[in-house]
Every structure is written in C-alpha cells, then in structure tokens.
Structure 1
C-alpha cells in the first residue's frame, strides 16, 4: 500500500501518508453498519500492510463510528448472505470457521508492528464497539457511546470484544457491561480506561493528528519493542515479563552501539 493510495471495498476506504494508514468505514447513510464484506475488507487491509507502516487510524464517516451489524443480518430466514439465519444452520465446525474469518478483520489491529488508534464519534454499538476495542488506543468525542448489546439479543460478543474489554477495564466491569448491554458514555469510558482522551467533536481530527505525531516520533525499533512489552505484560507472569524486558533492552543496546 503506497503513500496516497486510496482503496474502497466493502464500505471500507483506506489511504496512506508515510508511515500512517487511515482506514475509514464509509457507509454513513447506514451509520457505518457492518457486514461480512466489511470484515473481509478490513482483514485485507491488515494483510496488505508493509513493514514501514507504524500507525493505523480507524475512523467512521459521518455522525457515528459504527452502529454495529447491518440490520439485514439479524434475519432468521435462510438466504441472507452472512446472516444469522444462515450461520445458525451451519454445522458447529463450519460456523466457528466462518466466525474465525470474521474475527480476522478485527484481530490484526493488535499486530506487533503497528499501533492502532480508533477515532470514535457518536455510536459504537456491537460490532462497532468491538472494532473500537480492537484498537490499541481510543480517542472519543464527548457525545460518543459504546455499547455491547449482544447478550440482550440472545447472542454473545464474538468479534474479539471480550478479551479486549477485560484487558481494558477488568473482569467485573467487563462482566457488567457485557451482560447488561448498557451504553457507556464518553465520560465514563475515560474514567474506566476505555478512552484515552475525550474531546469535543470539533477537536477530534486535531487530537488524533497530535496523537499520531507523538506515536511516530520515537525510533521505530524502540517503539515496536516497547509496544510489544506493554502487550505481553497483560498476560505474562512478572518473572516472564522481567525477562522479556531484559531481552528487549539488550536488543536495543546492541542496535544503538552497533554490537552483536
């Protein structure tokens, strides 16, 4: 993906400026509602990234980040491509493999070489909330709301949302947010660690630009090693994490002094 290149597929638009790729959900008339085509397009963006990309910014065109699944997918009737009715008629193995493919559109946003930033305005519901949670960082407007209503609809969050939410807010808060399906407003999101910063809507673009500039400022090797350490710290035992820090620091020192 070369600088300035623009692609649009599955209502996903991408552009690049140097080491920064911007991915925009581009279906504003439907509040950026998502379909399997959206997730395939997102996964293709992840597959196309080269080693020079350092930051990915994920946005939604229009007044909402993403209102979740396209309503047509909720149909229990067969014949709706990618719909819950078709998915529920597959064997367990086939259905899980299908969902695995959907999850690939989300999980790449935690790829080791990049830092991902979600710019969230308006609503981020269901799949929209999970897409925002899949990113490393979130900048939210003061009118933004995140909501995971899947359990109230007889379903579960299955697009990588549960692990990311628990990492961000802890077990008990994640349990309550997922089971009640209630909306989490921007102020609360900031207070509990879901949002890194909350700003007026007019300041969203400038705040994201400032954050991106700060993220690409450190040397690329140090940035990627540090990001890897922060990610592994969530799951590693202290002694394992200490060892990871030692190994990463030695790699950095060897590069800085031209050592072995």
Structure 2
C-alpha cells in the first residue's frame, strides 16, 4: 500500500488516505488500494467497525486527481465513473462492516462522494465540503448527484452542485450531511468512541440493518420487504440466541458474530 495506511486496534480499523502533498486526492491507484483494504477488513472477523480519515490537518480528500482524466473521451469518462463506483463508492456503501468517515478538513468532489458513501459522517470544526465539478465542465460522477440529494434534500443538493459552493461543518450538520462536529484535535478519538459502541453490538444484526436501510434507496427494491426478510433471518443466528439469552439472564451479551 503506497497511498493508504491501515491500523487495527480493539476491533476498530482506521484507514488513513496518505497523500498529503496532493491533499489526499483520489487517483486510480488510491481507489484500488482502498478497495482492497475495505474488502480485506470486511472479511476480518476481528474488525467490527472501520474509520476512514485523511492524513494531516488540511484535507480528508480534496477531490479526484484531475491530471489523470483531463484528456479523456466521453467513453473513457463513463468507464472511469462506472469503475470508480464499483470499486469504491458503491462498494463502501454496501459493506457489511460499518464505515464511518472522519472528515478532517476539505472534503471536495470525490472526497465528499467518498464520505457520503460511508454509513455516516463526523466532521472536524474546520471541515469544508462541496461538489465543485461544474467549475471543470463536468458533473459529480462517483454518486454525488444521488447521495447528496438523499442526505440533504433535492433543493439543497441542486444549489450546492450548481453553485459549486463549499459549506462549513456546522452548515453540513444542519443539513444532515454530518452527524457531529468536533474540534479537529478531538475528531479521531470521538469517532473511535462511536465505533467502540458499535463493536459492543451484534455484527450480524448490524450487517442486516445496513442492507435494509440501503434497500430504501435502491430502485426497484421494497425496503420494507428487505427489513422483514432480514429481521426473520436474524432469528436463525447465534448472535440472536446470545443476545436474547444475555438479556433474560441480565448480563452483557458476548456476540460470536455468527
């Protein structure tokens, strides 16, 4: 891994995008590395939650690496967007392991799209977020037009995309784009605290809940039916047996993750 760092401790993995001289911009190599890292962590039974953050204090991810696609044709552009969504953005959204974005500094273009593909977001007080693609004569291509509208509503998404304006952390919180805003020097520990709460719960049930919530935003899928099916499936798991037994025995559950 040349562009990312991965640390694991107490069932929590921290994935750091480590291209500080490029403000952690996403190039093809970084997207590939993130795909492999998230895939590996998702298969690791010891990892119950993943945090993704940018290195340094300036940026989470300041965008995509424009130099890689400035001379692309229309077909190459379509392939770039499709491949990126397959490898990273859709991949993260549908990961069974919860992924939390710790947005430290700028999250622009592909950076905001990565943060939005995570299951939820926490921002540092100096964070700035936006989708400035129209200033380059292109639109967001990694799910930005879809996920931003889902998170903040159609009108606000239209305004942000059309004006290419950045919003600050408090505005993002008011919009529902991030869940919390904390001082930058407290960001990672704060997010680790949330992740630690997640690790106390059933990873099997959490994976089923992720599927059910995502189903509501998937065309042609009835989210209520997915919820009913996943609710029923939980009854056949060892986690359900442990959780209900622990409750009746008035003790803390120790979930096997099965």
Are 1:246 and 2:228 matched, yes or no? yes
Picking from 8, 11, 22, the partner of 2:14 is 22
Give the Cα–Cα distance (whole angstroms) in 1 for the partners of residues 188 and 131 of structure 2: 25
Give the Cα–Cα distance (whole angstroms) in 2 for the partners of residues 132 and 98 of structure 1: 19
Deviations 1:99-131 (A, max 9, x none): 322222222211241111111111111121111
Are 1:212 and 2:206 matched, yes or no? no
TM-superposed CA distance for 1:237, in Å, is 8.6
Aligned to 1:197: 180
User: Unpaired segments of 5 or more residues in structure 1?
Assistant: 1-7, 74-81
Deviations 1:233-258 (A, max 9, x none): 334799x3333332222222333359
User: Unpaired segments of 5 or more residues in structure 2?
Assistant: 243-258
Coordinate RMSD, CA, aligned: 2.3
Structure 1 residues 249, 120: CA separation in 2 closer, same or farther (over 3 Å shift)? same
TM-superposed CA distance for 1:151, in Å, is 1.0
Are 1:176 and 2:159 matched, yes or no? yes
TM-superposed CA distance for 1:25, in Å, is 0.9
* Kept in 2: contact 1:20–1:55 (CA 8 A): yes
Give the Cα–Cα distance (whole angstroms) in 1 for the partners of residues 183 and 84 of structure 2: 32
* Kept in 2: contact 1:24–1:59 (CA 8 A): yes
Are 1:114 and 2:97 matched, yes or no? yes
Question: Mean Cα displacement is larger for which, 159-168 or 207-216?
Answer: 159-168
Aligned to 1:3: none
* Kept in 2: contact 1:132–1:138 (CA 8 A): yes
Are 1:99 and 2:91 matched, yes or no? no
Picking from 18, 35, 47, the partner of 2:27 is 35
Aligned to 2:212: 229
Give the Cα–Cα distance (whole angstroms) in 2 for the partners of residues 101 and 12 of structure 1: 19
Give the Cα–Cα distance (whole angstroms) in 1 for the partners of residues 62 and 230 of structure 2: 40
Aligned to 1:78: none
Give the Cα–Cα distance (whole angstroms) in 2 for the partners of residues 13 and 171 of structure 1: 35
Are 1:141 and 2:141 matched, yes or no? no
* Kept in 2: contact 1:148–1:177 (CA 8 A): yes
Q: Secondary structure at the match of 1:124?
A: strand
Aligned to 1:55: 49
Question: Mean Cα displacement is larger for which, 248-257 or 220-229?
Answer: 248-257
Give the Cα–Cα distance (whole angstroms) in 2 for the partners of residues 46 and 122 of structure 1: 22
Give the Cα–Cα distance (whole angstroms) in 2 for the partners of residues 179 and 246 of structure 1: 39
TM-superposed CA distance for 1:18, in Å, is 5.3
Structure 1 residues 219, 30: CA separation in 2 closer, same or farther (over 3 Å shift)? same
Picking from 59, 83, 90, the partner of 2:69 is 83
